Chains A and B, each alone.
Chain A
Amino acid sequence: MGILEVKGVGKRFGGLQALSEVTLSVAENSVHAIIGPNGAGKSTLLNCFVGKLIPDTGSVMFDGQSVLGRKPHEINQMGISRVFQTPEIFGDLTVMENVMISCFAKRDGAFRLHPFETVAHEQDIVEQAEQMLMDVNMIDKRRMHAASMSRGDKRRLEMAMCLAQEPKLLLLDEPTAGMARADTNNTIDLLKEIKEKRDITMAIIEHDMHVVFSLADRITVLAQGTPLVEDTPENIKGHPKVKEAYLGESA
């Protein structure tokens, strides 16, 4: 029984069957990659996990509870954090404030009216956020305006924000899309480090095979909205079906 159980999920947009009969299981404390050619339905599938889309058919169970019909913030509070293709951060706030918001969300839940406390006096939150920033080597940037950082740093910050919530499942939507090789490698190192240091399950949607094969414990290949195969990276590499559907296309 995996932490995320997806059964028979289908989603239709007008005349386009974006997803059909998607079934997969993400095991706890593993890194599960979902790959597939463009338009295979990877992002649609991910959006079904986080409450942005509601599938027409099937079920998505997280930690024994259905996520369907819940709002994004509710699903996040259940323990799913998400990293976006282009880093979504609070650009107008400082790096420290960005991480502190995650810490508040973890401590206080979806809403708590606390207009007369002072952020700077919230010792536990400040400490947690500083610790998190140290973990991702960003502590010296804590007073920086988040929007003024490089893309790599923004990605790192977004990751820190997700990790600060100590999620059970971290969803990564093409975390290295549009990155230079060096930044990609840094991201891989960061993810490896996270994987080693923390008890965390990750589901990655990725285009870059290098990233996938360096990180994943298990891979699901999606083509035209349905899973083709699910296996270990070693087996996937040589799989003829995969070559045909995916590697063949890119060759």
Chain B
Amino acid sequence: MKFLGLSRKDTRFLIIVILLTLATPILLQPFPEGSGLATFNAGYPDLMQRFAIFGIFAIGFNILFGLTGYLSFGHAAFLGVGSYTVVWMYKLLDYNVIWGLPLAVIFSGLFALLIGYVSLRRSGIYFSILTLAFAQMSYNLAYSVLTPITNGETGLQVYGNDAQVLLGANEPTSPHFFGIVMRENFWEPTFGGWSFTFNNGYYFTAVIAIIVFYISLRIFRSPFGLMLRAIKTNQTRLNYTGINARPYTLAAFVISGMYAGLAGGLMAAMDPLAGAERMQWTASGEVVLMTILGGAGTLMGPILGAGFIKYFENIFSKINDQVLHGWFAFLPDGLEDFLIGVSHFFVGKSWHLTLGLLFMLVVIFLPGGLVEGGQRIAGLFRKKKTTGGGGDPEHHPKETPHVAE
């Protein structure tokens, strides 16, 4: 079974990813509405859209950071460029996202070419600082002199007096794709206590996410991907093997910038706004975090990381005193108050503390991220099955796991 030029294993992998993505509205609603655990449901459109969008952002970032090891702290700039482009197309043409999204990819790609060309003259931490400097410059400019383009602090949005030259009489007045309105749901079934929401916007981003995931899968398996991994492991050897590393790295930088632009464009496609805060370096930090948490350099890692962070961000920030009281009600009063007090550090507005801690724990104990954690657990089970085979594992030739795993 070969499909779209993928090996059997990768095809299986892709199919699983497609099924999971398409079934997300069901999978993320495991608890009946109104039950105590309903807080942990995540199957609502807004959140699912964010999963897909940040998944795209992280998949792209992984092509640069995961494969080549170049740590960019400036990818949020491309996110911002993407968002601004899409909103501008709303203002100039109409609400159909078909105009803005391709342009968002092109503009962010060009911008990435410029920044990458300069930044890649240096490596290591110097590269990180250069990208950070460029992104901060863009952010500061978006807030100040570029206000005519970005609308400064207010953020860019569509106003009644905008040109919108293509706007038809019956056309929806919110982002849509040839009449499919992003914020509308096409099916809202309820089964017993369970209710599900099937949202146009989510499926639109999900299909795009699947396409770009497939592209990244092909890149991972291509000679180009092999060169990128070679850059990460030993650039000296690569140079003395007659390969010029810089254009390869630049290509990776531009591709990941285009992914970021696409993600930014999709943000504006879900909600027709664009603000400079999307370009701030904390946003760049977030995508670094997602990639690392999931497992840099693995195919699945960035998606897992993005989903994990966005899910817990949402759940943890939702947990308030009322919810906590509900959980700890069975405990004696003193203990209950104490536990609630302790929980305050980690939930609600303090969710970032949890995130920071989690981040440290992953870097300290699980440098390979969640994917490595999964592999280790799977490894434990496998070992149990095959014990008794004898022999020192050190003396067996170690086979490299496939990148996909």
Contact = CB atoms under 8 A, between A and B. Distances in A.
- A and B directly contacting (CB within 8 A): yes
A73 interface: yes
A120 B247 CA distance: 23
Contacts of A100: 226
A29 B252 CA distance: 40
A90 B7 CA distance: 24
Interface string B205-225: 000000000000011011111
Contacts of B399: 143-145
B148 interface: no
Contacts, number: 128
B5 interface: yes
A77 B243 CA distance: 8
Contact of A81 (B234, B240, B247, B400): B240
Contact of A82 (B6, B223, B240, B255): B240
B244 interface: yes
B225 A115 contact: yes
B233 A119 contact: no
Given A82-B240, A121-B5, A91 B233 contact: yes
Nearest to A147: B233
B359 to A, nearest CB: 24
Interface centre among B223, B224, B232, B237 (most CB of A within 10 A): B223
A141 B397 contact: yes
A190 interface: no
B287 to A, nearest CB: 21
Contacts of B248: 111
Contact of A104 (B7, B226, B232, B236): B226
Most chain A C-beta atoms within 10 Å of own C-beta, residue among B225, B244, B400? B400
A102 interface: yes
Interface string B267-289: 00000000000000000000000
A101 B227 contact: yes
B91 interface: no
Contacts of A118: 5-7, 218, 221-222
A165 B397 contact: no
B229 interface: yes
A110 B242 contact: yes
Interface string B227-261: 10110111011111111110110010001000000
A148 interface: yes
Contacts of B218: 115-116, 118
Interface in B281-335: none
A72 interface: yes
B398 interface: yes
Nearest to A171: B240
Interface residues of B, number: 35
A122 interface: yes
A116 B222 CA distance: 6
Contacts of B239: 71-73, 76
A250 to B, nearest CB: 30
Contacts of B234: 88-91
Contacts of A144: 397-400
Interface string A61-92: 00000000001111011000110100011111
Nearest to B63: A115
A108 interface: yes
A196 interface: no
Q: Is the interface of B mostly helix, strand, loop or mixed?
A: helix
A125 B255 CA distance: 26
Nearest to B398: A148
Interface in A202-234: none
A105 B241 contact: yes
A134 interface: no
A105 B232 CA distance: 17
A115 B238 contact: no
Given A88-B236, A119-B223, A165 B400 contact: no
B243 A88 contact: no
A77 to B, nearest CB: 4
Contact of B240 (A72, A97, A114): A72
Contact of A114 (B223, B237, B242, B245): B223
Given A71-B239, A73-B239, A120-B7, A113 B233 contact: no
Nearest to B399: A143
B240 A50 contact: yes
B45 to A, nearest CB: 33
Contacts of A109: 242
A161 interface: yes
A72 B246 CA distance: 13
Contacts of A141: 397
A90 B223 contact: no
A141 B396 CA distance: 11
A108 B400 CA distance: 26
Which 8 residue pairs spanning A and B have beta carbons closest together? A76-B242, A92-B233, A110-B244, A88-B237, A105-B242, A115-B224, A72-B239, A77-B242
Given A73-B244, A101-B230, 6 more contacts: A101-B238, A111-B247, A112-B223, A113-B251, A115-B218, A115-B222
13 contacts: A73-B241, A88-B234, A88-B236, A89-B234, A90-B230, A93-B233, A97-B226, A104-B226, A115-B222, A118-B7, A119-B222, A145-B398, A145-B399
